[in-house]
Chain A
């Protein structure tokens, strides 16, 4: 995650518009924190949303280690016992969760990146 943002920031700071903004006397703080970060933010956000979905699956291992009740262990036990309705329910929940996360990501991306807005 941090490597991702770092790489993107390095790319952005080497872009032409950064040099042009500098030639107008704009402070480097504003260039880094306002201009470059906003442009570097949207790919990082996409990675973050995918990570979030993977975490949802991987939480299962944590739940198991610390004996926490949760979706992971629930799904796990259900699939061990072949409890189809529970598996279906969890799958539907997963679909809804993934959709919501992607929707939130897209809305945030649209805010960050005007080109992504649909008119």
Chain B
């Protein structure tokens, strides 16, 4: 790699995977996994408790005053605190304290065997099943589906003649029963990562399967596997104890289960016998489960917090509620700022000082590249910003009414009926579990309160109007049964059904192919004429706004850089960024400029 300083001459070399591996190594070097884990108090405490218990277990031969099966008939059911028998002795006169210590080791060995087998089987099968071809995949899938349906404890008992009562053999089999969990985790991660570009790059650059699996895939599955191991160790110990409690297996082996069982029998003679092993077993398994939970939070990043759907938007700005309004304007956005809290808790503004106005019946195009804040502006008008978002400044006035600071109930009354929305990605915006028609009818009835029959008629008529060939069939279809273009028509139907005054269309054509795009845009324009609504069209594509918008606002890095009539923007763009966007429209008459060069020119 020493000669690759000049990227142009060595562009065909295969530095991609190496670069990624080093980048990843650097990333993990910054915050080592164990350090992150130890910083979490729950993880640190449970690790401490478990380490202390298993350390004592390891030192058993040195500190245990008696052997696990040394019976002294004079000590039968000796009480708590007898000299030499601190915790007393059981029904056979065996020292409970010594047996407890030896039981720790039995538990440790059980957990070790169970989890090792599960990991070995599950990880191997998961890598193979996820990475290789479909046939291999369905065979492993089938085997593990079978394993998962076996009732664990019962199976282990029935197999007792096979294991000969040895708890180690039992745990070996139990490892197979635990393996499906690991298999599923690994397989899903592998399937997810298999088609990632860097794995493709590794394959193209000639790395063998084994090396790709070991290096690129295993590094990703590590975290989830560690988490699962903690849970599996807990369940191996619990099952081993459960079986010993039932008396399955050799009675010679000291274990928590056997001790609880014996304590249980002598419950009326000496109740504390039952207490000690239960307590220790409880502490160990609870610690493992808590450790697993703590690991999940730290290694996988804490799960998104649950939020109320109807929490409304957070506004920290002082909104002047009765400022002057332009009588002609339907929507006036002034000085709007939207921010998201960053990793360090500081607010990171994604939209700054946005001013927009849209006349009733007008058609405004909001243009900008991905991440320029145009969708955020649209969402804030609808009152559906994600809950982390904070509106830091400004005012949004719709039809003379201030929207910022309205609670979700008031916004919900406006949404659908007065302001409607067409989303970007048609397929993910339909609820997959409900028929198309029932979703549309529910929305229309929520917005207008119209009777079901009338709503259904209007939806079907509108589906027809929106260019759907067999509206009744689409009405009765599930979302996965219709195409992307049809789904977008369905979503347009849903948006305009209640005759809104303002329609916000968020890149309504991005996910569609070119011929369908043109039809959808025509439909939007026709519907605007017919219904007299104002349309705010959000897009990154100047070609889309060129035909249909009267006014255009250009947005870059959260700010509006230029706003004006469509002819002005196209005829005499003022801002550098607008010119760059215009320059990037595909035009078959001109040779395209190199995008990298254009970006450089735009930035300078």
A: which residues have CB within 8 A of B?
A: 6-7, 9-10, 13-28, 30-32, 35, 38-39, 50, 53-54, 56-58, 60-61, 64-65, 72, 75-76, 79-80, 82, 87, 90-91, 94, 98, 102, 112-115
Contacts and interface: CB of A to CB of B under 8 A. Distances in A.
Nearest to B242: A61
Contacts of B155: 57
B143 interface: no
B412 interface: yes
Given A15-B428, A114-B480, A57 B152 contact: yes
B425 interface: yes
Interface pairs A-B: 6 shortest CB-CB: A25-B416, A24-B443, A57-B151, A28-B310, A23-B421, A57-B153
Contacts of B154: 56-57, 60, 72, 75, 90, 94
Contacts of A32: 309
Interface stretch (B48-56, B430-438, B549-557, B587-595): B430-438
Contacts of B428: 15-17
A109 B491 CA distance: 26
A81 B144 CA distance: 31
B328 interface: no
12 contacts: A14-B304, A20-B423, A22-B415, A23-B419, A23-B495, A24-B421, A24-B494, A26-B442, A28-B310, A30-B446, A75-B158, A80-B160
Interface in B146-188: 148-155, 157-158, 160-161
Nearest to A64: B246
B429 interface: yes
Nearest to A80: B160
B420 interface: yes
B416 A10 contact: no
A20 B488 CA distance: 12
B565 interface: no
A50 B552 CA distance: 57
Nearest to B421: A23
Contacts of A17: 428-432
A76 to B, nearest CB: 5
Contacts of A24: 415-416, 420-421, 442-444, 446-447, 494-495, 498
A87 B164 CA distance: 16
Contacts of A98: 149-151
B273 to A, nearest CB: 16
Contacts of A27: 412, 446
Given A23-B420, A26-B443, A54 B303 contact: no
A11 to B, nearest CB: 8
A61 B303 contact: no
Contacts of A28: 308-310, 408, 412
Contacts, number: 156
B153 A60 contact: yes
Contacts of B386: 14
Contacts of B242: 58, 61
Contacts of A94: 151, 154
Given A80-B160, A90-B154, A112-B433, 12 more contacts: A6-B306, A13-B309, A22-B384, A23-B419, A25-B443, A50-B148, A54-B151, A57-B151, A58-B242, A64-B245, A79-B157, A79-B160
B340 interface: no
A20 to B, nearest CB: 4
A47 to B, nearest CB: 11
Contacts of A112: 433
B290 interface: no
B271 to A, nearest CB: 16
B260 to A, nearest CB: 10
B413 interface: yes
Contacts of B512: none
Contacts of A60: 153-154, 157, 246
Contacts of B136: none
A7 to B, nearest CB: 6
Give the interface centre of B152, B154, B306, B384 by most chain A CB atoms within 10 Å: B154
A10 B303 contact: yes
Contacts of A76: 157, 246, 248
A7 B160 CA distance: 38
B570 interface: no
Interface in B237-267: 242, 245-246, 248, 264
Nearest to A30: B442
B474 interface: no
Given A7-B303, A23-B384, A26-B446, A115 B432 contact: yes
Interface string B291-316: 00000000000011111111000000
B432 A25 contact: no
A24 B433 CA distance: 18
Contacts of A9: 306
Contacts of B161: 79, 82
B358 to A, nearest CB: 17
B431 A39 contact: yes
Residue from A23, A56, A114 having most chain B Cβ neighbours under 10 A: A23
A19 B383 CA distance: 10
Contacts of B495: 23-24
A35 to B, nearest CB: 5
Given A23-B415, A79-B161, A115-B478, A58 B433 contact: no
Nearest to A99: B149
B138 interface: no
A57 to B, nearest CB: 3
Contacts of A15: 428
Contact of B416 (A19, A23, A79, A90): A23
B491 A20 contact: yes
